[in-house]
Structure 1
Amino acid sequence: MTDTRSNKFYLSLLKTRLIELQSQDITNADSRDTVVLDQSSVGRLSRMDALQQQAMSKATRQNRIVEIHAIKNALLRLEEGEYGYCEDCGEDIPAKRLELAPTSVRCVNCAR
């Protein structure tokens, strides 16, 4: 993937997504707090709801962390001139695949 225009497109796409994810992480910092029960609602269901909400927030945050890591790896590959090439076979990763999943490190055949 040596096309400079394509590289600029993917660089912009990746950086924009990285900024989005990092700002979401800052915005949702309160979701990491311990479970606080709504004092107007009492009982097991309230506690279960609060715990479920916290678990969902943790899972969402973990997914964000994984995606941020993948984006940083893609940016590093772009910088090193390795972006757009399959890690396994070395073939070009199709542009359509990179547009849909810009952090892809494998072509369709190797990803199977």
Structure 2
Amino acid sequence: MTEPSDQALATRYRPQILAELEDLRAASEATAADRRPVELDQQSVGRLSRMDALQNQAMAAGTEARRAARSRALTAALSRIDEGEFGYCEDCGDFIGLARLDLDPSVMRCVSCAG
């Protein structure tokens, strides 16, 4: 099978990457309140409620960190598309393969080099 052109790769993956970035941005905005500092008002909630609130805040912060990492990876993939380097292994330079890119367009290594 021949490797697709840079334009074909851009046409195929840019919309998918942009859509995922938008989904991540929307999810981040929707959960912003969950990451706000927890008010430790002794009068309004009990100790267990505060502990639950702190745990939920920590989980929301962890989720946001994963979203941020995914956003950086997707933004880097867009940069590789713009530079004509998308779809090629950063280690060996071989084409990564459409099946692997379909699973995750942010991958930077072929199966051989990733393993």
TM-score, normalising length: structure 1: 0.89
Matches within 5 A, 1:32-43: 32-36=35-39, 39=44, 41-43=45-47
> How far, CA to CA, are the matches of 1:64 and 1:74 in structure 2?
15
Cα offset for 1:29? 1.6
* CA contact 2:9–2:86 (8 Å) conserved in 1: no
* CA contact 2:34–2:60 (8 Å) conserved in 1: yes
State yes or no: 1:66 paired with 2:65: no
Residue in structure 1 matched with residue 59 of structure 2 by the alignment: 56
State yes or no: 1:17 paired with 2:35: no
Identical-pair percentage: 42
Residue in structure 2 matched with residue 26 of structure 1 by the alignment: 29
Deviations 1:11-34 (A, max 9, x none): 010011011111212222212211
Question: How many residue pairs are counted as aligned between the two chains?
Answer: 110
* CA contact 1:70–1:103 (8 Å) conserved in 2: yes
Consecutive unaligned residues in structure 1, runs of 5 or more: none
Consecutive unaligned residues in structure 2, runs of 5 or more: none
Computed over aligned residues only, the root mean square deviation of the Cα atoms, in angstroms, reads: 1.7
> How far, CA to CA, are the matches of 1:4 and 1:80 in structure 2?
11
State yes or no: 1:103 paired with 2:103: no
Residue in structure 1 matched with residue 9 of structure 2 by the alignment: 6
The SS at the match of 1:73 is: helix
Moved over 6 A (4+): none
Deviations 1:32-60 (A, max 9, x none): 21113693x512x2222111101100000
> How far, CA to CA, are the matches of 1:8 and 1:89 in structure 2?
24
